[in-house]
Every structure is written in structure tokens, then in C-alpha cells.
Amino acid sequence: AQSVAQPEDQVNVAEGNPLTVKCTYSVSGNPYLFWYVQYPNRGLQFLLKYITGDNLVKGSYGFEAEFNKSQTSFHLKKPSALVSDSALYFCASGVSGGYNKLIFGAGTRLAVHP
Amino acid sequence: GAGVSQSPRYKVAKRGQDVALRCDPISGHVSLFWYQQALGQGPEFLTYFQNEAQLDKSGLPSDRFFAERPEGSVSTLKIQRTQQEDSAVYLCASSSGGRGETQYFGPGTRLLVL
């Protein structure tokens, strides 16, 4: 079965430090991968995606993610965290042959401390 | 331009009541998705429309769930005879179609069944 895993329920980081939120995937064929962020009582906001091409993808608000095919990972990174980055982050993968429907990880709560 | 909108934002229903949740996608988007997000979990796919055609309803949990998009724009998710386990946030997303296209999410409807 195809799946997306986010191994950390929560990530804590000090403001100004680099952050990484981990994601691994298990899908058939060539994956396409997304990161979304969710603030309280709001829907999911798109951050970035990997479809093909350069393994390093840059997205909104200074976030980037690196696609690693050999490790089946798509970790989200930011060089310098802000308190306002504190939110719930979801990794998702498109399903091959599945009309673009997405499979989501369980989410990782990012807490950035001043 | 306007994003995806959903109404109502909150709905409290007594067990056994029928509810209808509305989604207004981004204008011109041919693809529309419904997802269910239980507390503390990632969204799970319910159903997919391409224009007015419901091409995938494999995620609908029971025959009490019904979705329609009669004119290829606004969509309604209906839940008949609601049960407590239906309590969740229901998210709608739309995209311009095509493999790998970004899905843009609405704010969701939080349904509480008492």
C-alpha cells in the first residue's frame, strides 16, 4: 500500500536556528510530493512541491525541500526559523493512477521558541 | 482572486440528522476533492470530481455519504443519519487538473455530531 510517514509528532527549535521536518514516502512509480502548512482553524496552505527536475525545491516563506530518491525522503527545511513558523506541517504524495488524490502523513507540529 | 470557500464553517448535528456541506472551488478549476480530517490526523481522501463527473468515490466511508457537483462548479457533501464517528473537519480542495497540479484547500467545515 502507498503511504507517507512523518516520523516526528513534534519538532522544537529555537528562533534563528535551522529547522528540518522529516517525511518519507512509499509510492508506486515516480512520486510527486507536496508540503502543506496548517494554522489553527484554517485549511491547508501550499508551501512547495516536487514533480520532476532539480531535487532541491524552493517554496513559500523561505522553505525548501530536498527530494532524495534513494532514501525515499522529502524533508522540509528552513535555514532560520521564525516564531511565526509555528504550525502543523503535512507532507503528501500523489497516488499513481489515482486521479491526483493525495495521501497525507499524520502531520508534524513545529514549535519555534523565542 | 478568491480562494476555495466552504460553508458552514462549523456545524453541530444531533445523531441521526442529515447535514449538507458546501464547497465553492476556485473559478475555472476542473478538479474538486473532498477530504476528511479527524482530530490529530492527516486528511484522508473521500471523493474526486472532474467537472461534474464523480470519477472516484473510493474513500467515502459508507453509503450515508453522498457528494455531487451538478454543474461542474459548486459541490455539496451530504451525510445522512449522522453518527458520532462522522465528527471531523471536512476539507474541500480544487485544482486546475492534470497530474501533479497543486490542490488549493478551503478552510474546512468542522462537524460535531452529538
Read off the CATH number of the domain in which B9 is found. Answer: 2.60.40.10
What percent of chain A has pLDDT above 70?
96
Domain boundaries of chain A, sorted by first residue: 3-113
Q: Is A43 on the interface with B (CB under 8 A)?
A: yes
The Cα–Cα gap between B33 and B46 comes to: 7
CB atoms within 10 A of CB A4: 23
- Chain B nearest CA to A10, separation (Å): 12
**What is the bridge-based pairing of β-strands B109-113 and B10-13?**
parallel
Q: What is the mean pLDDT of residues A23-32?
A: 89
With b for 16 or more beta-carbon neighbours within 10 A and e for fewer, the A60-78 pattern comes to eeebbbbbeeeeebbbbeb
Average pLDDT over residues A24-47: 90
Q: What pLDDT, on the 0 to 100 scale, is given for residue A110?
A: 97
On whether residue B113 sits in a domain, the answer given is: no
Q: Do B42 and A104 touch (CB under 8 A)?
A: yes
Residue A7 has pLDDT above 80, yes or no: yes
Residue B72: its pLDDT value, please? 92
Quickly tell me which residue has 507517507 as its cell: A4
Report the CATH architecture of A3-113: Sandwich (2.60)
User: Average pLDDT over chain A, rounded to whole?
Assistant: 93
Query: Does the beta-carbon distance from B48 to A101 stay under 8 Å?
Result: yes
Closest by Cα among B95, B114, B91, B113 to B104:
B95
Task: Pick A99's closest partner by Cβ from B6, B55, B102.
Answer: B55
pLDDT attached to residue A29? 82
- Is A90 in contact with B42 (Cβ distance < 8 A)? yes
pLDDT 10s digits, B49-88: 999 999 999 999 999 999 999 999 999 999 999 999 999 9
Percent of residues in chain B assigned helix, strand, coil, to nearest 5: 5, 50, 50
- B29 pLDDT above the threshold of 70: yes
Binary contact (B105, A90; C-beta < 8 A):
no
- With cut-offs at 50, 70 and 90, classify the pLDDT of residue A30: confident
A20-to-A34, A73, A94 alpha-carbon distances in Å:
15, 12, 22
Domain with B77 in it: 5-102
CA distance A42 to B77: 19
A59 part of contact set with chain B, CB < 8 Å: no
Q: Is residue B109 part of a domain?
A: no
**Residue of chain A nearest B10, judged by CA positions:** A41
Residue B112 lies in a domain: no
Residue B15 within any structural domain of the chain = yes
Mean pLDDT score, A15-39: 94
Does A107 contact B at CB distance below 8 Å?
A: yes
Q: Give a yes or no: residue B114 inside a domain.
A: no
Spatial distance between the Cα atoms of B74 and B24, rounded to a whole number of angstroms: 5
Domains held by chain B: number: 1
Residue B57, domain member (yes or no): yes
Residue B1 has pLDDT above 70, yes or no: no
> What whole-number distance in Å separates Cα of residue A49 and Cα of residue A53?
11
pLDDT value for A71:
95
Q: Is residue B63 part of a domain?
A: yes
Torsion sign (Cα): A105, A94, B92, B75: negative
Q: Which of A44, A45, A50 to mutate to test the interface with B (most CBs of B within 10 A)?
A: A44
Q: Which residues of B touch A41 (CB under 8 A)?
A: 107, 110
**Which tens digits make up the pLDDT trace of A50-102?**
998 899 999 999 999 999 999 999 999 999 999 999 999 999 998 766 567 89
Q: With respect to residue B91, please indicate whether it lies within any of the assigned structural domains.
A: yes
